[in-house]
Amino acid sequence: MLAAHTLTWDLHYLYDLFPFARAGGMRDTDVSADRTSFSVQGLDMHLDVVLAGLRRWVREGTYDDAAASFVRAMRRAAKRGQDQGLLTDTWRTALFGRSHPYVQAGIIRHANSALTIDDAARFRAAHYTPDNATLVIAGRFDPVLADRWIDYLFADWRGHAETSQPPPVAPQPASIASIDDVAMLQVRVALPASAAGRPERLVAAAMLNEIAHDVRFRLSASYAFDAQLSETRLASFYVMGGWVDAARSAAVVKLVRDRVQELRTDGLAAACAFVIARARVLTQLRSQVGSAGSLAERVDPLCNRVLLAVARPRLSPVES
């Protein structure tokens, strides 16, 4: 987080910063458990300027004195403890296993209080390298021209990422609860996804989502209870949950349990649910064209490493 969010434009390259700003270029950084995404956006007519901005930011970026304020902000956030501490740690431990790095990934209170800008620079040198990166360009553009600009700006980028061997995911059955005097409570259930391909997982998630909707339609216990496929590079889960009437929480859990069991034991019910879910997934996939930015976001979860995304949302037709 420190290495990504404090990386800034080196002022030695102001002659590229000004055209990028005049072209309406925008930058964004996202850090997840698996990857860091640096994205820049601009009009397709300024493809060269946008790509040059990405190069200056990621390849020639630097850390200045302003980065120290981010370190202080991290330390202040670590003291607030607003992430439901024990509940969050127990949930992640059940999903991934006690020794897995995902258990603490992205949680500020677990950050080393002794982190410095030098640590960020070392992390960047070890991981922000061309063999550890995927470049995505989404929008309306000339692919041949884009290839020429990519070669011009990035072909001479050198460096090799440090290898890492995270421990295997070791999920374990667990029941986690936090007692509170509330009218509505949040229920979440996670089920490990099988080793099937992504299409099969999407259909299975849609089948579970139909079960989740029964919490509303059959029990009238919630206005928002659904299921979705949660994907990470090392593990994927079906996560079902939402806010339910506290007085009906036992009935909600029982309904979910019984319907999941029905899919396992009743072939006809499973077949019907599969046909309906498959049709819905196909409809959703056909309708997900959207903007250039949304296309880049759809590619993002499929990349295993540092993602450099360039999206230019000017016109809706998509050529690549």
Residue ranges of domains in the chain: 2-72+107-161+291-312, 184-265
Tokens linked to 256: 């979910």
The per-residue pLDDT for 218 is: 84
Look at the block and give the residue holding tokens 């290898």: 163
With cut-offs at 50, 70 and 90, classify the pLDDT of residue 297. low
- For 18-42, what is each residue's pLDDT tens digit? 888 888 888 989 888 778 889 898 8
CATH topology for 184-265 is Alpha-Beta Plaits (3.30.70)
Is residue 317 predicted with pLDDT exceeding 80?
no
Can you tell me whether residue 229 is helix, strand or coil?
strand
The per-residue pLDDT for 74 is: 76
Helix (H) or strand (E) holding 50: helix 47-58
- For 298-316, what is each residue's pLDDT tens digit? 665 555 555 555 544 444 3
Range of weakest confidence among 62-66, 257-261, 294-298 = 294-298
Highest mean pLDDT among 72-76, 211-215, 315-319: 211-215
The per-residue pLDDT for 290 is: 62
The per-residue pLDDT for 309 is: 52
Whole-number average pLDDT of the chain: 83
Is residue 237 predicted with pLDDT exceeding 70?
yes
- For 72-97, what is each residue's pLDDT tens digit? 777 777 666 666 778 888 889 999 98
Q: What is the pTM of this model?
A: 0.77
